[in-house]
Every structure is written in C-alpha cells, then in structure tokens.
Chains A and B, each alone.
Chain A
Amino acid sequence: MEPQVKYELFGNMIKEFAETEVKPLAHEVDEQERFPAETVEKMAEIGLLGITVPQSLGGAGGDMKMYIGAVEQLSKVCATTGVILSAHTSLCVTPIMEYGTEEQKQKYVPRLASGEWLGAFGLTEPNAGTDAKNQQTIAVDMGDHYIINGTKIFITNGGKADVYVIFAMTDKSLGLKGITAFIVEATTPGFSIGKKELKMGIRGSSTTELVFENMRVEKSAILGKIGEGYKIAMKTLDGGRVGIAAQALGIAEGAFEETVKYVKERKQFGMPIAKQQNTQFVIADLATKIEAAKSLVYAAAEAKQNKAPDLSVRAAMAKLYAAEVAMEVTTKAVQLHGGYGYTREYPVERMMRDAKITEIYEGTSEVQRMVIAGSLLR
C-alpha cells in the first residue's frame, strides 16, 4: 500500500491508544507519583518499545517519524508516559543499536524491543551533567574485567529499567577521552538503586540514583571503544533531544486542546471567554508557536532518520524552541483557566509542572543555545 497509509493509520492508532489507555491514568499517576507499569506493558504489546528497531532484531522496523509521533501523542495526555518511551528508545535502545557489537545487539535489542526489558541511560552525576569531564565514576581495569565505583543521579526509568547504558572514567588523565560507555544489567552484583527523587512534574516517571559499589563488569559490556564514551553520550543525547522536543510539543498540544475546550465553555460578562479578543489573540499566538515547534521537531526527526550532519544543531533548536513553547503554552493555559487552572482538578495544572522539565533535562535550554551557537561560530 502507499507509504502514507501507514503513517495515517499509525496516527489514528496512537491517538486512540493515548486517549483510551493513557489519559484516564494521567491524573492518578501524577497524584500518587506512581510509575504506570501497566501502560508500559500495553505499549510493549503493540510494539511501541521497539518502533525504530529493525525487524531482524525483533522490532517493528518503523522510523523516527512514527517514534516521534508516539512520544508526541502520549505526552499530549501524559508527559510521564512520553518520557518513559523516549528514555528507553533514544537513550538505551538506540546507542546499543548504533555502537553495540553484533553479540551485544543480539543479546539486548530483541528483549528491549519486545518490552521484556526496559532501558535507561546514566551519565549525570552530582558534579557532572553536560560538563562530563568531571565524571567521578571510575572503572578500574582488572585484566579480564572492570570494577566500577560511583554514583549517577536523576536517572529516568531508574529502578524500573533492566538495562542501563552508563558512563565511567577508564583513564582520568585523558579527560573527556578517558570516558567509556558500558552496558550494565540491573542484576549485576554491586549495582543498586539509591534515592528516588520527588519531583515537581512528570511525577510518575521514576527518577533515581544509580549506585555502583565494586560493581564487576565484564569487558564484553563495553559499548563502543574504550575512551569513546563522551562521543557516544553526546551523539546519543542529540537523538534524545528530538524525543524530549516531541514530549514538549505533545505537552503544549495537550494544554492547548484543553484550553480551547475550556474557553468555549467558560462564560464571563455574559459570553464565553472565547469571544473576548484577549482570549482570541492568546489562542492565535499559541497555535502559531505550536505549529512552528512542530516543524522544528519533525525536521529534527528527519535529520536523525537520515543521519544528517546537522542533526546536533537541529535537535538543539527543536528542543530549545519546543520546550520554551511548552512552558509558555501551559502557563497561558493555566491563566486562561483562571482560578480553576491553578487547581489540580484541571489537567493544565499538571501540564505546566510537566512542561518545566523539558527546559532542563537532556541539556538545559542554556546548553542547547551553547550547542547551536557553537555550531555557528566555529
């Protein structure tokens, strides 16, 4: 059939899934800070956890357009669910597919794609976020294996994931070139989950510390080459940012839809507030910005799909803009809802809290500006 048919039907399917399976849980998941494990199971059944994985590795064989569409539509109703999929796909499945050995791919990718295992990514430390050269997680070469000690923080899907792509210093003297990536299973002796963060938004997403205490990791667990860790982390985050940009876009669209519905119903001064010019102008501006964000997000998705050389800057632009649009749209959505918007009875309150993280994780908006300017002023 025409290639367009699959995108149209995929769009119908993911919207129905989000409305029917995800939306009804969004409030509860936020309120109780509960990881929606049942939703992850349903996503696995449909094949959402392996959208971009080739069928030869047990995936659906889809593309970035479908994956980004899924993150967008899920985030529209529940940003927690959107980031579970984004972290799993962009930050764990993708680097293993792109840098893994044949053996590593065969071992991990089919299980991650089927949803038997969930994935996560561990780079950030208390003193090293984007500034990765301060990594204090140390991997010591013991001949046939490594012993790793250190702590990672703010790890999305922490404690829920089975497989983690983590980074450690294998040679401190080399700085960024002394960082190596490893694939670590949650069952590895010496691996444990530390503190669970209590967050402002995406409260159903599990964000934890990872603690490595004399964790023994075989040499077969090295992802890519020794010393290539920083490069792998940065390339992985380029792709990850497209996912977060899609999450931000979804949050903005969700809040916008709720607001359009509300302003038509809410009456003040004898008419629906949608009849007030202030409302109309705000709605017009927000819709325009959402559309602009959407163009950037899908252009970045295409760049990732085509392995375009300008992926890094496109992903940074998409995430920067979409995150700021998400923050603006949700803030104005709360404003147009008035007092009700400030209560937890209306979803825009949650959406405003959820939007904030998209300006922070996988590189803050400031870091995105650094990446964009860096590519222009070389």
Chain B
Amino acid sequence: MKIIVCLKQVPNTTEIKIDPVTNTLKRDGVASIINPDDKTGLEVALQLKDKFGAHVTVISMGPKQAEKALGEALAMGADRAILLTDRAFAGADTLATSKTIAAAINTLEYDLIIAGRQAIDGDTAQVGPEIAEHLGLPQITYVNNVEYSAEENTFTVQRQFEDGYQLLQVQTPCLFTLLATAEKPRYMRVKGLVDLDKKEVEILTRADIVIEDAVLGLKGSPTKVKQSFNKQYNSNKQKFVLDPAEAAKLIATTLKEKHLI
C-alpha cells in the first residue's frame, strides 16, 4: 500500500498573539509545529504501515523552513518527504494550494491520501477536499477512526459529527481528512532522528510539476483577505435580583427566546 500524507507546518497557535496594529498573526519567535490534524493523519498512516506494511510519503507546500516539519515526519517513521517550494507558489489561497499539491501528487503513485481536517492557522478545512476533487477521488472528511481489511482491500472509517458518526466503507484510491482526536501521534524515534543525517527532503519547484501559471500563487487565488480582526463581544448586561425559583424561570425563558434550548 502506498500512502501520501499531506502535512502543513503551522505556528503553534497556543503561543501566538495578534498584532494590534496590523491585525495579523505575530509569527516572530513563535515555534512552528506540524499541524495537529495532519500529525494525526501521519500517525494513522504509520499505524497502517506497522500493521500491513505500507510506504508512507509526506508532502508539504511552504517555505524552505517547512523542511523541519518534514524532518519530524521522517523521524516519526515516514519513508519519503517532499517539499513543494517556489516563489511562484507564494501567496496561494486554498484553491491555488490544492491545485499545486494535486499536480505534485499526480507525479506519485498512491492508494490512499490522508490530510488533516484543517490547519490551526487558517481553519478553512478546504485543501484536503479540494485535492480529492482535482484528482477525481472519493473523499471522506472528518474521519475519526480508520480500519483496513487487507482481504477486501477496503477501508471502513468513522465520519464524525457532533452527535454521532457515519460508518462508511470505501475502496482505494481515496482521500480522508482526519480529526486530531483519532489517534495520539507517536513521538519521534531517536533512531529516526539520527537517521536524518543520511536523509534529504526532496524539493519540488515550479519546473517539476505540470500546471498552468495562471492557477499558481497569489494570482491563482480568488480569495482576498479584506480584514482580520478580533471579535468583539457586545453583551447586553442586565442585572436581576430574584429568588432562585424566579431566577431559574427567567434564565429558561431567555434561553428559549434565543432558541438556545
């Protein structure tokens, strides 16, 4: 089985602050991590490798420094790492990103593509599904559990909703987007880290993929960010002095009016 895991390097948003002047994320000095949903996706791929034998390729698009995230993936047990990096890819929105990654994946062999549900820096949840569309693959999003039957060569996966899940069966090739809750990612192995000395992240540039210039980078991106801002809560503060029974009634009525219960 050949598995491709799409992986993004993101700033650790638990440490991040917003610049009050520009309203953009202050990325300076903030540690970069593998996006948590993607890391779980890699864990799922590595478990399939452990149980059934698989070749796991991780692929990422980003600046040169994203090599480190791919190094981490190799140290966890991935077999091959590819970084798509070129000035021509810069400024890409989800559409341009997914088209670029899909074009690169087109040059690879695969049975299964795994992506994280969404990245913690953008929260769009669009790139994974778009890659599946560009490649004409069946896709299952919000996957919380993956079982594989080697005899039937099918996957049975749980697609998670807020109040339940669907159990879906799918044949390869296909694409899943994984939830971070599906598995706890393993730590990098010391041996895997030592072996990084002998490994390289393969670099793919504009020249290595077949794609029109018009769909790349900023000019291939229909999304324009007009403004980023912190949400302000304008609550209607009112004070009531009531006995407990009346207070409970008031709370229940108010919640009902607002269709919250």
Contacts and interface: CB of A to CB of B under 8 A. Distances in A.
Interface string A1-19: 1010110111011001100
B57 to A, nearest CB: 17
Contacts of A51: 190
Interface in B185-234: 186-191, 193-197, 199-201
Contacts of A62: 190-191, 193-194
Main secondary structure of the interface of B (DSSP, over half): helix
A46 B75 contact: no
A50 B196 CA distance: 17
B187 A6 contact: no
Given A1-B67, A9-B68, A47 B190 contact: yes
B68 A60 contact: no
Interface in A173-229: none
B193 A10 contact: yes
B187 A9 contact: no
Contacts of B200: 1
A24 to B, nearest CB: 14
B36 interface: no
B116 interface: no
A48 interface: yes
A61 interface: yes
B71 A13 contact: no
B189 A17 contact: no
B72 interface: yes
Interface string A25-53: 00000000000000000000111101100
A357 interface: no
Given A1-B67, A1-B71, A1-B201, A9 B194 contact: no
Interface string B137-181: 000000000000000000000000000000000000000000000
A66 interface: yes
Given A9-B68, A9-B75, A61 B196 contact: no
B147 to A, nearest CB: 23
A55 interface: yes
A44 B37 CA distance: 26
Nearest to B67: A1
A62 B194 CA distance: 6
Contacts of B196: 1, 5-6, 9
Contacts of B71: 1, 5-6, 9
A10 B190 contact: yes
B190 A5 contact: no
A55 B190 CA distance: 11
A6 B191 CA distance: 10
A61 B191 contact: yes
A50 B72 CA distance: 20
Interface in A302-322: none
Nearest to A50: B190
A47 B187 CA distance: 10
B191 A55 contact: yes
A8 B68 contact: yes
Contacts of B201: 1
Contacts of B189: 46-47, 60
Nearest to A51: B190
Contacts of B197: 1, 3, 6
B184 to A, nearest CB: 10
A85 to B, nearest CB: 12
B201 to A, nearest CB: 7
Interface in B29-73: 31, 67-68, 71-72
B194 A13 contact: no
Interface string A320-357: 00000000000000000000000000000000000000
Nearest to A8: B68
A54 to B, nearest CB: 10
A238 to B, nearest CB: 24
8 contacts: A6-B194, A9-B71, A10-B188, A13-B188, A17-B187, A45-B187, A60-B189, A61-B195
Interface of A: 1, 3, 5-6, 8-10, 12-13, 16-17, 45-48, 50-51, 55, 59-62, 66
Interface of B: 31, 67-68, 71-72, 75, 186-191, 193-197, 199-201
